[in-house]
Amino acid sequence: MNIFKFIILSIIVTSLSYAGEVSESQQSWYKKYKEQKNVPDPAKQLLNTDKEPNLTDGFTELYNGKDLSGWLTKGGTCKFEAKGDMIVGTCVKGSPGTYLSTAKDYDDFIFTCELKWIVESNSGVMFRAKAKKGKKGSEMVYGPQAEMESPSKGRGWSGGVYGQACGGFFYPLWLDAHKEARAALKKDDWNRITIEAKGKVVKTWINGIPASHIVNEEYLKGFFALQIHAGTKGTVQFRTLKVKELK
């Protein structure tokens, strides 16, 4: 091997090693989730280094500002309401997780919305999601979800990708390289989640900061859904919901 090839190989190996380092503050989460079906090997996790897409031109509003036309409630009995420029989701004690879902399916797209907690709870945005019959005839929503978790949780995985009812985290934000994304969530304020899906490649941004980068060949088309997680409390506001379909 000549010296030039050796130097290039060393750079590549060094880069991969750095990208795969789990942060010291994330070690307990790594131990908890490392055996999940979907979870990636940290050493092989891809990084999103792209600038957030332009969010101004060619987008279609998904919420009309008046009612929930074009949306369907799936999975539970948590409440969703149209309130001015916002959709407000409220947890109902005893209900399974509930998903306000678009009636239309999407394949390649750029999606963005803003989210704000009034009462903290786990939440997120499903994309390319699917539904099937669950236990006792209930409807179960499953597929990838852009995670939006309570600021007080302290983990910092908003913008990560979770496999809802399909094997756990596709992309946890536990690497040293995710430090900026983990710190991007704002408490008591609006937070923007952006998702770009092109074929089998999906990337996310949280408040403009690159977060996830996954490659998945199973979930290539499906609906969007706003999640209100099962629990005893939680009120979440969603606004500026829009999508740009990529031809």
| SS3 assignment, position 15 | helix
Per-residue pLDDT of the chain (247 residues; tens, 9 = 90+): 454 443 333 333 333 333 579 999 999 999 999 999 999 999 999 999 999 999 999 999 999 999 999 999 999 999 999 999 999 999 999 999 999 999 999 999 999 999 999 999 999 999 999 999 887 777 999 999 999 999 899 999 999 999 999 999 999 999 999 999 999 999 999 999 999 999 999 999 999 999 999 999 999 999 999 999 999 999 999 999 999 999 8
How far is 104 from 84, CA to CA, in rounded Å?
23
> pLDDT at position 136, please?
73
Judge residue 203's burial from the number of C-beta atoms within 10 Å of its C-beta, 0-12 exposed, 13-18 middle, 19 or more buried: buried
> pLDDT at position 210, please?
98
CA distances, 236 to each of 81, 83, 227, 239 (Å): 11, 12, 9, 10
- Residues forming a β-bridge with 112: 194, 242
> pLDDT at position 19, please?
56
Superfamily of domain 3-245: Exo-inulinase; domain 1 (2.60.120.560)
Q: Which is nearest to 19 in space by CA: 230, 213, 153, 235? A: 213
Residues in the chain: 247
> pLDDT at position 247, please?
80
CA distances, 83 to each of 44, 61, 99, 106, 190 (Å): 43, 16, 17, 25, 16
Judge residue 127's burial from the number of C-beta atoms within 10 Å of its C-beta, 0-12 exposed, 13-18 middle, 19 or more buried: buried
How far is 233 from 29, CA to CA, in rounded Å?
24
> pLDDT at position 6, please?
34
How far is 178 from 69, CA to CA, in rounded Å?
37
> pLDDT at position 138, please?
79
Q: Which is nearest to 216 in space by CA: 228, 234, 202? A: 202
> pLDDT at position 8, please?
35
pLDDT one-digit tens code per residue, 168-224: 999 999 999 999 999 999 999 999 999 999 999 999 999 999 999 999 999 999 999
> pLDDT at position 13, please?
38
Domain locations in the chain? 3-245
Residue 152 phi/psi, 5-degree rounding, is -75, -10
CA distances, 109 to each of 174, 189, 203, 244 (Å): 26, 26, 11, 5
| SS3 assignment, position 24 | helix
Q: What is the DSSP letter of 14?
A: H
Structure tokens at 155: 């983990």
> pLDDT at position 14, please?
38
